[in-house]
Chain A
Amino acid sequence: MEAYLWAFVVGGLICVIGQILMDVFKYTPAHTMAILVVSGSILSGLGLYEPLIDFAGAGATVPITSFGNSLVHGAMAEAESTGILGILTGIFEVTSAGISAAIIFAFLGALLFKPKG
């Protein structure tokens, strides 16, 4: 039960940060997402994102910040096993499901639907 509560609260708070970036600092959605993703990478590098995931579960894995975290993890894991070039070969390893799914289903969407205006 507690896991669900924290998933809700942490996820909600990350979204509030995004909302503040858009409403108070007047960043566009694209700029906001870029800022959040980079924040995720940095927090991951500092070793702070994994503990957040342990604590909040989906509250930390569903927001776009976790994308940054996953990219760093993929890069680091491969670098640790095969050396510095592993950064390039491993970067998409963990996020592959997300990106592939987005491309495939967006394409299917374009095949089957027309915009509604």
Chain B
Amino acid sequence: MSNKVKKNLTPVQQEYYDFAKQREPKRPVFSNCVRAFLVGGGICLLGQLISDFFLWNFDFTEKTAGNPTVAILIIISVLLTALGVYDHIAQWAGAGTAVPVTGFANTMASAAIEHRTEGFVLGVGGKMFKLAGPVIAFGVFSAFVVALIKTVITMLGGL
């Protein structure tokens, strides 16, 4: 949580919190943002190139070219995760690898690979969505709410 007075801290605890905060190495926010920008932009650029490749060489439209693009980015991400390389790139790039769909694929691949020791059903199958679950749950729920609101507004006479 940010650097403000936290609720439920006694005065002694608050004093210690400030004391400790002063001695905490600050996260290099600016350089993290620069790296996130470069890597994130780079991945999107790659996505654009892949998308155009499918557009020009196969029977895809601008809308449908997104599907194989996402699939390819996912395969690359899973491969890098499986080879043990993704986490090192991500330590450097931060949100640059987490925000694109590569991050989503990494959450699923890393959880699936890690929990194989607990078996395929409960381990791989059961734990695969450990980190990806929030994205799917909140994505679907928010889309449901948005779509419902829009549909009801349309039904009541439209905007």
Docked-complex contact A109 and B44, CB < 8 angstroms: no
Contact B94 A22 (CB under 8 A): yes
At the interface, is chain A mostly helix, strand, loop or mixed?
A: helix
Query: Shortest CB–CB separation between residue A80 and chain B, in angstroms?
Result: 8
**B88-117, CB < 8 A from A:** 94-96, 98-101, 103-105, 108-116
* Chain B contact residues: helix, strand, loop or mixed: helix
Size category of the binding interface on chain B:
35 or more
A87 to B83, CA, bound (A): 39
Which residues of the other chain, A, contact B2 by a CB distance below 8 angstroms? 24-26
Q: A15-B96, A57-B51, A58-B51 are in contact. Are A116 and B44 (CB under 8 A)?
A: no
Give the residues in chain A near B112, CB-CB below 8 Å.
106-107, 109-110
* B26-53 contact mask (Cβ, 8 Å, vs A): 1 or 0: 0101001100111111111111111100
Q: Considering the chains assembled together, what is the distance between the CA atoms of A110 and B100 in angstroms?
A: 22
User: With A and B bound together, what is the CA distance between A79 and B75 in angstroms?
Assistant: 32
- Are the CB atoms of B124 and A15 closer together than 8 Å? no
Seen from chain B, the residues whose Cβ lies within 8 Å of a Cβ on chain A are: 1-2, 27, 29, 32-33, 36-51, 66-71, 73-75, 78-79, 81-84, 94-96, 98-101, 103-105, 108-116, 120, 124, 128, 131-132, 134-136, 138-140, 142-151, 155
